[in-house]
Every structure is written in structure tokens, then in C-alpha cells.
Structure 1
Amino acid sequence: MKTKRIVITGGPGSGKTSIIKYIEENGFSVIHEISRSVILEAQKEGIEQLFLTNPILFSQKLLEGRLKQFHDASKYTSDFLFYDRGMPDVTAYMDFVKTDYPKNFSQICNENRYDCIFILPPWKEIYHTDNERYENYEQAESLYHYLYAAYENYGYNVINVPVGKIAERVDFIVNKLKK
């Protein structure tokens, strides 16, 4: 059986990282988000917010990293492989900041397909900012809509994950995958 590639996405502060950690702790294979490492690498070079300073370079680095993760996934043999964000997140963020990006960004997203997309809606009660997350809650809400639209534009059926306790959200995801 081929490993199914499952994306967990959503705006900043919607609970993605907590869900991914829980999924991993419960024995599922996970590919972790790389944006924080790209941000930290740029900060070491003196660029406080690479996405704000040079959104194309930041997005190129993310897309390259996520494409590598996509290809490296061939070594997994589990039934499901969960990704903390997918390649279409890159173009969604670029659309959010109304920045044109190279056509190959969309081509890469179209040619490298995931099997299932789960999106986490904005959730004000758990939202907070930190050193790498600069968006306010209203921007996080807007990003959710851009992410949803991006995945739909690439032909995906996007599944909304209801708010709730982490275990409940993961149960929802796993039960949808078993159908």
C-alpha cells in the first residue's frame, strides 16, 4: 500500500504544531514545518523577518525545503505521513501579501500532490504571537481564507477540523482518514 500524504494546515496560532506533536506521540509518521528554521537562519544573518524583507527569497527557501521533504517521504512505509503545512501554503502566503511569485511555484504545487488536506480554522482563544509569528489575529483569520482558497485552486477537497481539545481534533482527522 502506498503511504498517504496528509497535510495539516491553517493560519498562524490555530493549533497545528500541537496537533502534529500529538499525532507523532501517538505513533504516526510526521514531517515537521521548516519555516521557523528558515526564519532563525535568516536572523543569524541579521535579517529579523526574512518574509517581510524579501518574501520571494523566503518563499523560495520554504518551497525548496518542502519539495525536498516531499521527495524524502518516499522512504516512509507507514500508512499515513502527516505534513505540518504543504507546498500550497507558500503561494497562499504570497497571495496574502499580494506579491507576485515565479510561475514555477504553482507548477511545483500542481506536480507534487498530497492525498488529503485538513485545515484548522482560526481560534481566538488559543492564538498568541511569538518571535517568529508576527501576524495579529485578524491577519491569521485572513490567512486561513487564503490557505483554503489556495488548496481549492490546486484541486484539493479541503476538510475543516473543528475546534476542540487536541485529542478530539486528532480523532476527527483519523476517523476521516479511515473512511
Structure 2
Amino acid sequence: MAAKKVLISGCSGGGKSTLLTAFGALAYPIVPEPGRRIVDGEMRGNGKALPWVDLHEFARRAIDMAQADLAAADNLKGFVFFDRGLIDAAVACEFAGGASYRSLLGDTRHYAQPVFLAPPWPEIFVTDHARRHSFDDATAEYQRLTRAFSELGYDCCELPKAPVQERVAFVLNTLGIA
């Protein structure tokens, strides 16, 4: 079976990375969030492609990284779980004043159905060195993403606000692999 690329997207600070870590512990291939990898790299150097410095450049780099991640996943088999990805980056690029996400993505469906969305969850939202925006900003981003996924023809499946093991079971049951 070719790789089935499962996207976990949604609200920043909504528990996506924790969920992906749990899938990795179950021996599923996981692809870390492009944005976090870019921020970590930029902060180790003197980079300017940080979302709070140059959101457009940050988003362009995230698009390139997400495209490379998708291509690398073509060599895998079974379910591959992505923490954010190409669509998130394209929506951020448009928000930053760049090209529309529709023109950046074309008509290709890059991920399997459904896309899982982590909803805004204020009880677990925290800021850190790489997440400097407010909960309100994260909620607005969630709304942009939800609209984009719908417009692109993706079925969106909202993750429950529940402990990580319940979220894992929810995703696996929804995918029919539990």
C-alpha cells in the first residue's frame, strides 16, 4: 500500500505535536511541523524567516519544506502522519500578502481524507519561544484554515478536546485502523 498521508492541522497550541508524538510512539511514520523546524533553525542562526519578523518569507520556506516532506513520504508505506503541512503554509502565505492558496496549491489533493483539525482549546494553549502569538491570533488562524480546507474539498474532522490517548483512538477509529 502506498503512503496514506494523514494531515493533523488546526489551531496553534491545540495539541497537534503531542498527538503526532503519540503516533510516533506507536511506530507510525510522522512528519514534524515545518514551521517549528524553520523557527528552530532560524533561531540557532541569525535568521529573519520568523513568523513575527517576516511572515511571507517564513511561509514560503514552509511551503518548500512541506513539498519536500510530501515527496519524501511517497517512499513510505501505510499511514504517515503530518503535523501541519503544505495547506497550512499556503494559507499563511496568502495571509501574509502573498499569492492565494488556491493558486499555490492547484487542483492536487495532497493529503488523504479526512483532514483532522485540532480546535481552539484555551485550557492547553501556551506560548513559547516558537509560538509567540496570542490565543486570539491562533483562533483566527484556525478559522482561515477551516475555511480553506472546506473550499479545497477536504472533509474536516475536528479532534475531541480529550486526553491524547483518546485522540489517538479517535483518529485510528475514524481511519478504520483501530
Structure 2 length normalisation: TM-score? 0.89
- Alpha carbons of structure 1 residues 103 and 127: separation in structure 2 relative to 1, 3 Å: closer
CA–CA distance in 2 between the matches of 1:59 and 1:168? Answer: 32
Of 43-52 and 166-175, the range deviating more from structure 2:
43-52
Q: Which one has a larger percent helix, Structure 1 or Structure 2?
A: 1
Q: Deviation of residue 56 (structure 1)?
A: 1.9
Q: Matched residues, percent identical?
A: 24
Aligned-residue offset at 1:40: 2.6
CA deviation after TM superposition for structure 1 residue 105, in Å: 7.1
Task: Indicate the residue corresponding to 2:168 in structure 1.
Answer: 170
Structure 1 28/4 Cα, relative in aligned 2: closer, same or farther at 3 Å? Answer: same
Alignment of 1:1-179 (within 5 A): 1-47=1-47, 50-77=50-77, 79-95=78-94, 98-102=95-99, 106-108=103-105, 110-111=107-108, 113-116=110-113, 117-178=115-176
CA RMSD of aligned residues (A): 2.0
Deviation, 1:2, is 2.5
Task: Determine the C-alpha separation between the residues in 2 that align with 1:99 and 1:34.
Answer: 17
- AA in 1 matched with 2:172: V
For structure 2, the residue ranges without an aligned partner over 5 or more in a row are none
Q: Is the 8 A contact 1:4 1:115 kept in 2?
A: yes
Which region of structure 1 is more displaced relative to structure 2, 12-21 or 138-147?
Answer: 138-147
Q: Is the 8 A contact 2:48 2:54 kept in 1?
A: no
Contact 1:12–1:135 (8 Å) recurs in 2: no
Report the Cα distance in structure 2 between the residues aligned to 1:112 and 1:167, rounded to whole angstroms: 29
Change (3 A) 1:99 1:48: closer
Instruction: Return closer, same or farther for 1:33/1:121 CA change in 2, 3 Å cut-off.
Output: same
Unaligned runs of 5+ in 1: none
1:91 Cα offset (Å): 2.6
Q: Which amino acid aligns with 1:166?
A: V
Structure 1 contact 122–141 (Cα < 8 Å) conserved = yes
TM-score (structure 1 length as normaliser) = 0.89
CA contact (8 A) 1:109 1:154 kept: no
Aligned positions, number: 176
1:74 shift after superposition: 1.4
Helix, strand or coil at the partner of 2:21: helix
